[in-house]
Amino acid sequence: MTCGNTCSRYPHGMSAKSAIRRIAHLDMDAFYASVELLRYPQLSGLPVVIGGARRPQDETLRQTHAHQALARIPLEAFPRLQGYSGRGVITTATYAARQFGVGSAMGLMKAAKLCPQAILLPVDFAEYRKYSRAFKAIVTDIAPLMEDRGVDEVYIDFTEVPGGQREGGRVLARLIQKAIFDQTGLTCSVGVAPNKLLAKMASEFNKPNGIAIVFEDDLIGKIWPLACRKINGIGPKSDEKLKSLGIVTIAQLAEQELQWLIEHFGQKTGAWMFAAAHGRDDRPVVLESEPVSISRETTFERDLHAVRDKAELGAIFTRLCEQVAGDLQRQGYAGKTIGIKLRFDDFKGVTRDQTVEHYTADAKTIRGIAGQCLKRVPLSQRLRLLGVRVASLVKSDSTDKFKENSPPAPVATAQAATDSIVTTSQLF
Ligand code: TTP
Ligand code: MG
Ligand code: MG
């Protein structure tokens, strides 16, 4: 007599060996805002936006109420968006604020028009990093194979974790969600799927505080109706191009022949798009995630013009390159894709990059290449922001003086690079 299902940890008599691949993507809900609400619980349920530099009224708030517990500061004492004037940008907003149409990356002045009553708090990165480390430690206590994907998200391999297969991963997802909430007071959303690509999409399905389970069979019903833009790696540019070719949904993308996609997007991207549209992705969950790019950017005090403010702009540009070079050297990396990011006075953005033969972490070299990138942008409009980014990174000690043929780190793939734009843009 065989032992059958009853003594197996896996459903349907499945052995550990044949356990199906279950990958989770966990993303914290309204992360910066939720961390702020831990110290100001009186703001819960209210529209709150986080962004901009610390202002005199923020200091007043803290000083006037220093003798009180922060949780007892009356609502009237909090600064509102109304009347905001300045150049700050929203990092995130509570779900209550999102109902008014405000959200990440929007200028605070625009947000003030949409939701003047929203409470405005300045960013406190140190606090967010503390909670970022805390929630990740809780995850690895339960499921050790975790990949850090930035301040508020991780991938977790559920496949071999006890209970990781139950209800397609829902039981373990619930356990992790509860442990994070019990120990930090923060909520998160989790998607569990056969791979990272689908898990990342699934984690958004039931936000906030939700869980979504996706199986291979769900591709047609749950994934194909979505817009192509929902695929992590299809950015605004590729999306525009797809739209111009008449492709809006993932289903439409999946209808295309591999060869046709390669003709339009090149071998690498075309093949990747084809696989993604069919829900295929075999990237492993890696414990140590290397940074894919290192960048610095600055928003000017006033808009600058490339010709009229040439000297000032040049000095800022050089400083950014020096800072990026310093970051690279301190962290032990060199890169060979140098890029710039500009935002014009009308908030429109543009990026340019160039990949060179040799890896570098040298400020002058970066400045030279970034300068060439800048020449490829029409600069008649005034600028409000300038950024410099170095990507295609390798560990500098793993390179032979950064020679071209040094093995690139495994992270330097098209897809990882796209992931990192999201991650590093949060660090700007
Ligand atoms: P997200 O996970 O994209 O957003 P979120 O956690 O605020 O909200 P959601 O519930 O939709 O996941 O980003 C995590 C944090 O990164 C966010 O709290 C603030 C920061 N961030 C920025 O600073 N700028 C940005 O443009 C974005 C998108 C995020
Ligand atoms: Mg989040
Ligand atoms: Mg996130």
Question: Which ligand is nearest the CA of 428, by number?
Answer: 1
Give CA separation, 76 vs 34, 43, 73, 117, in Å: 20, 11, 8, 11
Please tell me the distance from the alpha carbon of residue 189 to that of residue 182, in angstroms, as a whole number. 15
Question: Which ligand is nearest the CA of 200, by number?
Answer: 3
The CB of 39 under 6 Å from ligand 1? The reply is: no
Among protein residues, the one with the nearest Cα to ligand 1's atom 8 is 30
Other C-beta atoms lying within 10 Å of the C-beta of residue 309: 17
Question: Which ligand is nearest the CA of 149, by number?
Answer: 3
CA of 101 to the centre of ligand 1 (A): 15
Best probe residue, ligand 1, of 104, 148, 201 (max atoms within 8 Å of C-beta): 104
The letter for the amino acid at 407 is: P
How far is the first Cα of the chain from the last one, in angstroms, to the nearest whole number?
63
Instruction: Count CA atoms within 13 Å of residue 180 on its CB side.
Output: 31
Please tell me the distance from the alpha carbon of residue 325 to that of residue 338, in angstroms, as a whole number. 11
Q: Which CATH class is domain 226-277?
A: mainly alpha
pLDDT of 1 higher than 90:
no
The CB of 297 under 6 Å from ligand 1? The reply is: no
The pLDDT score that the predictor gives to residue 117 is: 98
CA of 152 to the centre of ligand 3 (A): 5
Nearest residue to 365 via CA among 352, 375, 378, 354 = 354
Task: Give the architecture (CATH level 2) of 293-427.
Answer: 2-Layer Sandwich (3.30)
pLDDT of 217 higher than 80:
yes
The CB of 207 under 6 Å from ligand 1? The reply is: yes
The pLDDT score that the predictor gives to residue 150 is: 87
CA of 129 to the centre of ligand 1 (A): 13
Residue 249 buriedness (CB in 10 A; 0-12 / 13-18 / 19+): middle
Q: Which residues contact 217 (CB under 8 A, 6 or more apart)?
A: none
Task: Give the architecture (CATH level 2) of 41-121.
Answer: 3-Layer(aba) Sandwich (3.40)
pLDDT band at 397 (very low <50, low <70, confident <90, very high): low
The pLDDT score that the predictor gives to residue 253 is: 98
Q: What are the domain boundaries of the chain?
A: 14-29+127-220, 41-121, 226-277, 293-427
The letter for the amino acid at 61 is: L
CA of 229 to the centre of ligand 1 (A): 17
Convert the pLDDT of each residue in 172-188 to its tens digit: 999 999 999 999 999 99
The pLDDT score that the predictor gives to residue 281 is: 98
pLDDT of 422 higher than 50:
no
User: How many degrees, rounded to 5, is the angle at CA 241 between CA 238 and CA 245?
Assistant: 135
**Superfamily (CATH H level) for 14-29+127-220:** Reverse transcriptase/Diguanylate cyclase domain (3.30.70.270)
- 322 in active site: no
pLDDT band at 330 (very low <50, low <70, confident <90, very high): confident
Q: What is the pLDDT averaged over residues 20-38?
A: 98
pLDDT band at 52 (very low <50, low <70, confident <90, very high): confident
What are the helix (H) ranges across 222-266?
Answer: 236-244, 250-254, 258-265
Q: For 196, which DSSP code?
A: H
The pLDDT score that the predictor gives to residue 396 is: 77
Atom from ligand 1 closest to the CA of residue 422: 28
The pLDDT score that the predictor gives to residue 395 is: 84
The answer to whether 233 and 414 are in contact (CB under 8 A) is: yes
CA of 398 to the centre of ligand 3 (A): 30
Please tell me the distance from the alpha carbon of residue 118 to that of residue 84, in angstroms, as a whole number. 11
User: Mean pLDDT of all residues in the chain?
Assistant: 88
Torsions phi, psi for 11 (to 5 deg): -65, 160
Give the global pTM.
0.73
Catalytic residue among 76, 153, 257, 322: 153
Residue whose entry in the numeric block shows the structure tokens 């032979």: 400
User: How many degrees, rounded to 5, is the angle at CA 192 between CA 262 and CA 21?
Assistant: 75
Nearest residue to 81 via CA among 35, 104, 114 = 114
The answer to whether 308 and 336 are in contact (CB under 8 A) is: no
Q: What is the pLDDT averaged over residues 210-223?
A: 97
Among protein residues, the one with the nearest Cα to ligand 1's atom 28 is 104
Torsions phi, psi for 353 (to 5 deg): -145, 165
Best probe residue, ligand 1, of 36, 91, 148 (max atoms within 8 Å of C-beta): 91
Among protein residues, the one with the nearest Cα to ligand 1's atom 23 is 91
Which helix (H) or strand (E) segment holds residue 50: the answer is strand 48-51
The pLDDT score that the predictor gives to residue 64 is: 78
Please tell me the distance from the alpha carbon of residue 207 to that of residue 397, in angstroms, as a whole number. 41
Residue whose entry in the numeric block shows the structure tokens 């430690």: 137
Please tell me the distance from the alpha carbon of residue 250 to that of residue 275, in angstroms, as a whole number. 11
| Percent of the chain surpassing pLDDT 90 | 77
Among protein residues, the one with the nearest Cα to ligand 1's atom 15 is 31
